[in-house]
Amino acid sequence: MSGSRSDFVQQIHAEYERIGLRAHDHPALVTQVGAEDAFLARLRALPPGSTWRDVFPDMPLHWVPGRPETWTTRYRPALRRV
């Protein structure tokens, strides 16, 4: 990751805003050490109007963004090589 953790979080939130997503509509973000730059690149590649399912394609099907009561199963993203 280039920069501090707070810089990374600010960049993530800026990308969410650019895309049109509200950060509080999804559970807290946890990233694997070293995966931050790849995640930012993924967000930057998404066009405005993308959905949370575009950001996290393997998000559990029953999760509804903005409705935490549906987040009943722990989200375990598939590990991907970047």
pLDDT confidence bin for 1, thresholds 50/70/90: low
Crossing angle between the packed helical segments 5-19 and 36-45, to the nearest 10 degrees: 20
**What is the reported pTM?**
0.73
pLDDT of residue 42: 92
Q: Is the pLDDT of residue 44 over 80?
A: yes
Say how many residues make up the chain.
Answer: 82
In this model, does residue 28 exceed pLDDT 80? no
The structural domains of the chain, with segments of one domain joined by +, span 5-70
> Which class for 28: exposed (0-12), middle (13-18), buried (19 or more C-beta within 10 A)?
exposed
Distances in whole angstroms, Cα of residue 30 to Cα of each of 35, 47, 48, 49, 76? 10, 23, 23, 23, 10
